[in-house]
Structure 1
């Protein structure tokens, strides 16, 4: 695999909620970005926290782009989500939809006692069923909350070239490239009926949906930057749909029907 490029300048400590003390937040009312990921299999070659790592990186880069324009903080990531579709693989830990819906709801209620707005930056498509429900409920309580999906342009479904490229960029040492194998490469819409009935393991024994061949750290950098640019632009505009999605019209998450099983 090619050498990883030099790391981009990370957002300064002033953008990390975890680095602050309570007096630093007095009379601020910031926008808080909450990266939401998963602990789930990503093929035999990617780490279990891939979704969390991507969501955290995109949120941090967007916060850096908004410095001086928007008072924005990045909260510690939530690393467990609704990953029932991946429970056929060791290492996957799914909180399930009921627990995730309640967790996002209670985080939103608590955080918005002092924050002005909350945006959940979601890295795992299977979270969206419960995430959208929680955000819609919070908005019904007159709280300024939204969610935003990390959707790399032109990416494959799971643990393929896009995610492998991004993890080569973010944490190359955790990518075991010698284990990388291709999974089914049909569009997820073609595989959906089988994914619903058989779960991911029944469709792909490796857990990969796509082909990691050709993954490059440089491509990962480009994908992360495109998402961060889009997120920053959507935050500036702050247009929220009826289901709580910030920015562009909602896209149905690829694996949401499978994840909805638990």
Structure 2
């Protein structure tokens, strides 16, 4: 595993044709009163590097610089949120893929960590793959690891993935407990288990859903570092398997 930004031009030219370039895609947005704005990016970057390390010796994975600002207009009314427009984000993702292809990579994977980006990374991958004539994949880590997360109990305490609730609070406590500030307790929070994946059978947009309230989907105080470590291990295992399959080694 290597970070693209730490490689020389010669090293990239040598490794790129046989490697997979992974691009973490995140967001910079409010995550309740208790989690850092970069939670989604922090998790995506960790999963990318940890999955790459797990594949060392069988698949060369190079982690590219992250796309840090995602599609987050639904969080702007609450505050402390940066957002890219649809066209801007699609263009940036496609141009990152084009740059990696020009550097010699023939396989590029967009690893998403933010719900608002979920459809857009797939569209960007489809467009880039068709235009550049290389293999481009995309996936949101919790979708790629859905079955593993269910087995790890990730729907037992709150929504999966939810927003700044028990699940994401657990991940943050496992990764950067120093950045978590007194997770609030919201007793009696109701949440529905989602048996059909992230979007279910169809998607309904509710423009005012995040415009009021406290900016989290379920009880953050239900999250624990122990749970977070278990969830992260499940995610890394699933994403590593997904990258192996994407690379054509299964």
Q: TM-score, normalization: structure 1?
A: 0.79
Structure 1 residue 22: Cα displacement: 1.1
Q: Any idea what SS the aligned residue of 1:163 has? A: helix
Partner of 1:33: 22
Match of 1:162 in 2: 167
SS at match of 1:111: helix
1:145 aligns with 2:153: no
Measured at CA, do residues 111 and 18 of structure 1 come closer, stay the same or move farther in structure 2, by a change above 3 Å?
same
CA separation in 2, counterparts of 1:74 and 1:41? 26
Alignment deviations for residues 12-67 of structure 1 (CA, whole Å, 9 cap, x no partner): xx521121111111222221111100001111110100000010011111001010
Q: 1:230: which partner in 2?
A: 238
Task: State the match for 1:119 in structure 2.
Answer: 109
1:5-24 → structure 2 map (5 Å cutoff)? 14-24=1-11
In the TM superposition, structure 1's runs of 4+ consecutive aligned residues that sit over 4 Å from their partners are 178-184
Matches within 5 A, 1:62-101: 62-101=51-90
Counterpart secondary structure, 2:208: helix
Cα distance between partner residues in 2 of 1:171 and 1:115: 32
* SS of aligned partner of 2:31: coil
* Equivalent of 1:199 in 195, 206, 209: 209
Structure 2: gaps (5+ residues):
none
Q: Deviations over 1:130-181 (max 9, x none)?
A: 2221111112222211012121623521111110011011111110025454
1:8 is aligned to none
**2:124 match:** 134
Deviates more, 1:111-120 or 1:164-173: 111-120
Q: Answer whether contact 2:118 2:139 (CA < 8 A) is retained.
A: no
**8 Å contact kept, 1:182–1:212:** no
- The alignment yields a C-alpha RMSD, in angstroms, of 2.3
Residue 83 and residue 180 in structure 1: after superposition, are their counterparts in 2 closer, same or farther (change >3 A)? Answer: farther
Q: Does 1:175 align with 2:183?
A: no
2:78–2:210 CA contact under 8 A, matched in 1: no
8 Å CA contact retained: 2:76, 2:82 = yes
Paired with 1:234 and 1:129, the residues of 2 have a C-alpha distance of: 18
Distance, in Å, in 2 between the alignment partners of 1:139 and 1:239 is 14
CA contact 1:98–1:130 (8 Å) conserved in 2: no
TM-score, length basis structure 2: 0.82
Aligned residues: 224
1:45 paired residue number: 34
1:71, CA displacement in angstroms? 1.1
Cα separation, partners in 2 of 1:19 and 1:181, compared to 1, 3 Å: farther
The answer to whether the aligner puts 1:210 opposite 2:218 as a matched pair is yes
